[in-house]
Structure 1
Amino acid sequence: MPDGSPQLKPRTLRDAQSLAEAGLIPPEAQAGLARLSATYAIAVSPAVQALIDPADPADPIARQYIPDAAELVTLPQERSDPTSDAPFTPVKGVVHRYPDRALLKPLLACPVYCRFCFRREVVGPDGGLLTAAELEAALDWFAGSPQVREAILTGGDPLMLSPRRLRHVVQRLSAMPHIDIIRLHSRVPVAAPERITPALAEALETEKALFLCVHANHAREFAAPARAALRRLAGAGVGLLGQSVLLRGVNDSPEALEALFRAMLAARVKPYYLHQLDRAPGTARFEVPIEEGRRILRTLRGRLTGLAWPTYVLDLPGGAGKAPLGPDFATAEGLDWMVEGPLDGLAHRHPASGA
């Protein structure tokens, strides 16, 4: 029976002391992580806390969100802006690298802060929220850029906006004749599923094609609350895509990736991108070599439905774009092609046309 003591509402953990009190870091780690929090934001939401096994020192959920002193070590190949947002920012809140699409970053706050985030030096709880005037200037840029066919809301996390503000952005973009697609990238459905309210789902209503790209890296992130949130979005007509990052200690095995992609599909989410780690400062402990990533994916071809197959990509520095990394199953041999069978592992000759 209840003991009569007040029940504390779960809260987002935002500092080393609260992480220690929750049993997610050892007490002796507090001092070092307090210094870390002065550089990189910390946030572990209640939904994420519920997924962590504190008894497992290698827990793949904890590894994504619990800070580590290694983050203060920056290697020579790591960059503060690995995707080169800054040189391609025509107005505040907009990044335009590709001819037919552009990013809109209405805020820089997230429900959680991933320890491998490529924008980790700029995101944080202060929010980086565009003012009303700045947001309108960003939207005016989209309205005056007829070559842009797709608007991609990112940040930060666009689903941290209020339903009112989110509805305004969606409606403004939807009214632009040249915008065919609106895409949002978000951690919210798995990290803060309680935010996917009927009001928020309604705010996404549009006659344009609208897709939500859900960021998740481990099958356990698709717990019951996340699946319910995704059902609500799917019921509102939102197309669901999935993006993941290949991460050491999280999903760097055929079994972990297979479970992740199957969990996505079961939640009506089509795997879209598997990202090679962006080399942001202090993220080296997460990196999986490209050849290892290609090998892991190769083992999944043929044992997973094609619906579960994402494009494995590297976002090249300098704004050169996302390059597919394979794996490849075909090699040229003269005018013919030798193609490896995913099921039998044998090389099959595909003769040149007319041969």
Structure 2
Amino acid sequence: MHCQTCGDATSAAFDECQRCGTRNGQPPVLPGVPTYAVRGLGLAASVAVGATAVLFTLSALFPLVGVRLARSAAEQLDRDVLLGAVLAEVLFTLPFVVALLVAATLVVIWTWRVRRNLDAFGGVAPAQSSAWAIAGWLVPFANFVVPARVVAEVARLSLWRRRTPWLVVLWWSAWLVFSIGERVVAQMEQGRYERLTEWPRNDEEFGTYVDFYAGALAPRLVPAVACLVAGVSFVVLVRRISAAQQDRIARAAPAWPAHPGWPAAHPGWPTQSGWPAPGAPVSAVPVSAVPASAVPVSGAAGPAPGSGGDGTGGPAATSAQLPPGAGGTIGA
């Protein structure tokens, strides 16, 4: 006997599968508990997270452009070039902000869905409430701990791991370094920028802007690298968890899709699709359960004399009976 969830051989000495925790004979998904598709959403979240990491890296490297613009402004003693540097940095940062908002929305929805799917999986007992899958990202101070706990639990129960995967630890550690480091660097740069001369007039005052951009690159590299590490590790996590959950949900789906015109399930039919199991005798299918529309009509043979097309002795349901005319049945 094999487990219906992971396919491993089960033993009578244990009541549940030793790999995935599903009880012996239990289906992969509990009947009547809703599940949510996560493969497509996970792909969209992965793309958004990857785009966010790339755009933040580009914005972190802007001091390379700022130094060149500041030097050009110092050579020409032109304050408009410095103003152009400020506007250029805004243009670098704006796409990152938009991508971050999109990625945050998709990640929160994905986290909630994969957590809710755990309620439909037999053999798992999640400790984190599904409400924390959303609130954990939004509540101050709790968002430093709760999202990691939720994703760690989802990863363990979805990937059949007894311990938290190392990717979760890597992702959350890098995310904390990025979140805290980016704010610290931004405050440091704000303090340095406020000490600059607002309207430079000579080479020395223009040179302070060159020094400002030259000294801004190194501190920005720390959160930039952390953002890339967090983005790559989270994308891998999302793809693995989404694939594992979607595959488990697919195992619980019937082999043959139901159709509105097909007969309803009968106690004598062992399959969920409403059709007899392969190899079952034809007598197991009650004729009364099959609608007339499901019976194929052949042009080679018609109904028995004196009977209707439905076999009840009345007129067939597929065509109306016309009175015989003088010229035959065609009415010629």
Tell whether the structures are fold-level matches, with TM greater than 0.5: no
Larger Cα Rg: Structure 1 or Structure 2?
Answer: 2
Kindly indicate which of the two structures has a greater share of residues assigned to helix: 2
TM-score by length of 2: 0.20
TM-score by length of 1: 0.19
Q: Looking at both structures, which has the greater relative contact order when contacts are Cα pairs under 8 Å and sequence separation is at least 6? A: 2
